[in-house]
Homo-oligomer: A and B are copies of this chain.
Amino acid sequence: MTQTAHTSTSPGKQMLSEQVYTHLRDAIMRGDYAPGDALKPQSLAKEQGVSLAVVRESLVRVVGEGLADRLPNRGFAVPAFSDRRWQEIAEARRTIEPVMLRMSIERGDVDWEARVRAAHHRLARTPAYVPGEGEYYSDAWAAAHRDFHRTLLEGCGNPVLLETFDRMWIASELARRWSAHRRPERDGAPEHRRLEETALARDADAAAEVLTQHLTMTAVALTDRPHHEPSVDA
């Protein structure tokens, strides 16, 4: 018998499609699948122990977020971003985020300031690379990084703009996951510190300039690199 238990206490009261969606989303972002890999509903259904409909629904959502491509009658696949596509994403961020940052600096209240400080503190104290682990950024750092950038912009107070940021961030991270190899020579920490300083000093011009530079550097770091194989294992 399935418990009609009293709501709250039990943790698992979520739609299956939601769980599967989250799992799939994270797996793609984490790089569990290589770009171009087919996302086969049958395999996924078996792995997750759910029906095709659930997997299919999740895949459609994932496609909507730009984390997968859909080829009519040929199924779903992990998107393979071209360098061109990546540059377009980076340019879009350079176009929109500095403007949002200006709004944020103009409107942010004391609570926003506090959250910026907190987010920067967490970011600065989180190691970007786990020694033993793979060669990529740690999950914790990636989360702290996103949180810092988002918090900076949250002062603008406009959910629509923040949704746009979220969307571009996701695309950006996915592209980075597959383009970037660790570049020890690039250290974003000073840039983040200057972002925090200028933002809290309410110096919109300086902050916007720093952010633009930061985004440009990131884009350059991903493009200006020797060719490398798209091959992946693990």
Task: Report which of B53, B72, B91, B167 forms a contact with A18, defined as CB distance below 8 A.
Answer: B72
Residues of B within 8 A of A164 (CB): 92, 96, 164, 167
Task: Report which of B53, B65, B100 forms a contact with A53, defined as CB distance below 8 A.
Answer: B53
Q: How far is the CB of A205 from chain B (nearest CB, A)?
A: 16
Residues of B within 8 A of A180 (CB): none
State A89–B88 Cα separation when bound (angstroms).
23
Q: Which of A109-117, A155-163, A188-196 contacts B (4 or more CB under 8 A)?
A: A155-163
Interface residue? A217 (CB, 8 A) = no
A-side interface mostly: helix
**Count of chain A residues with Cβ under 8 Å from any Cβ of B?**
29
**Number of copies of this chain that the complex holds:** 2
Interface residue? A176 (CB, 8 A) = no
State A65–B53 Cα separation when bound (angstroms).
20
Residues of B within 8 A of A57 (CB): 56-57, 60
24 contacts between A and B (CB under 8 A): A14-B72, A53-B56, A57-B57, A57-B60, A60-B60, A60-B61, A60-B64, A61-B64, A64-B64, A64-B65, A88-B158, A88-B159, A88-B160, A91-B158, A95-B96, A95-B100, A95-B103, A95-B158, A95-B161, A96-B96, A96-B161, A96-B164, A160-B171, A164-B167
